[in-house]
């Protein structure tokens, strides 16, 4: 299934149009030849600018990228998989779009500590080596992106917390799940340090479970399928 079959809007002649009325300018969107939506230009702009450009990946996402990378990056469905999980499909389409887009997927060094806690030493070593390679590549990329990195301090991993971040960590400690898990707590602090737009996770037991509370504190938590729903209407701009 390609991106257009997924509902991505292919912009071009006959695929979009504009009209004006007394209340403002509107844009019409089509999927193939079928009309499927109308948005005020202000709404369209807000939806487009809501697409997160920099995402911090939870450790569980990195594990999935390695374990199921053949499907996520190549589209090869595993022989023992009768029904591809929706979040796997979402990651496949997200990274397909990102072959031409410039979304930044950050890896925190905190992830290395989480992987080191894996009880199976062979799995731990395999994943640590892979994550170190990914971390090295993405840190080089991030070094080239300019002042946003300097503002967030992502590349240099400054763990000397500002008063604002210390206050944020104290707030996290009021939540029992985060009080019990210092690594998740530090990942969320690094989100703030990295000036991120979204935290990508499949961990529904802790971080995603508290997404509403975290949103009130400036952290946007998304599952891959949720990110794809935001990106999908605009995917053809890059694809």
| Same structural domain, 133 and 218 | yes
The pLDDT value recorded for residue 190 is: 85
The separation between CA 118 and the C-alpha centre of its own chain, rounded to angstroms, equals 24
State the residue range of the domain holding 62: 53-237
pLDDT one-digit tens code per residue, 72-87: 888 888 777 778 899 9
Q: Secondary structure of 49-94 in the HEC alphabet?
A: HCCCCEEEECHHHHHHHHHCHHHHHHCCCCCCCCCCCHHHHHHHHH
Is residue 208 within 8 A of residue 177, CB to CB? The reply is no
For the chain, the distance separating the N- and C-terminal CA atoms, rounded to the nearest angstrom, is 14
pLDDT one-digit tens code per residue, 173-201: 999 999 998 888 988 988 888 888 999 99
Can you tell me the mean pLDDT for 59-78? 84
| Same structural domain, 132 and 228 | yes
| Same structural domain, 81 and 196 | yes
Largest CA distance in the chain: 67
Report, in angstroms and rounded to the nearest whole number, the Rg of the chain calculated over CA atoms: 20
| Same structural domain, 98 and 168 | yes
| Same structural domain, 139 and 222 | yes
**Residue 68: closest CA among 234, 224, 208, 198:** 224
Q: Which helix (H) or strand (E) is 105 found in, with range?
A: strand 104-106
Percent of the chain with pLDDT over 70: 61
| Same structural domain, 45 and 58 | no
As for how many domains the chain has, the answer is 2
């Amino acid at each position: 299934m390609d991106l257009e079959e997924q509902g991505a809007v292919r912009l071009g002649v006959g695929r979009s149009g504009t009209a004006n009325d007394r209340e403002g300018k509107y844009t019409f969107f089509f999927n193939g030849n079928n009309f499927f939506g109308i948005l005020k230009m202000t709404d369209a702009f807000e939806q487009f600018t809501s697409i997160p450009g920099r995402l911090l990946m939870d450790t569980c996402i990195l594990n999935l990228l390695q374990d199921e990378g053949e499907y996520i990056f190549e589209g090869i469905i595993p022989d023992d998989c009768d029904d591809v999980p929706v979040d796997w499909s979402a990651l496949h389409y997200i990274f397909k779009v990102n072959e031409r887009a410039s979304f930044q997927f950050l890896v925190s060094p905190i992830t290395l500590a989480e992987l080191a806690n894996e009880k199976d030493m062979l799995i731990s070593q395999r994943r640590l080596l892979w994550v170190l390679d990914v971390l090295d590549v993405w840190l080089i990329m991030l070094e080239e992106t300019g002042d946003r990195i300097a503002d967030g301090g992502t590349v240099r991993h400054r763990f000397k917390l500002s008063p604002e971040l210390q206050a944020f960590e104290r707030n996290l400690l009021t939540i029992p799940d985060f009080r019990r898990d210092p690594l998740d707590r530090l990942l969320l602090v690094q989100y703030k340090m990295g000036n991120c737009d979204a935290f990508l996770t499949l961990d529904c037991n802790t971080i995603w479970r508290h997404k509403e509370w975290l949103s009130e504190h400036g952290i946007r938590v998304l599952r891959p399928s949720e990110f794809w729903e935001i990106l999908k209407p605009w995917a053809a701009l890059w694809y």
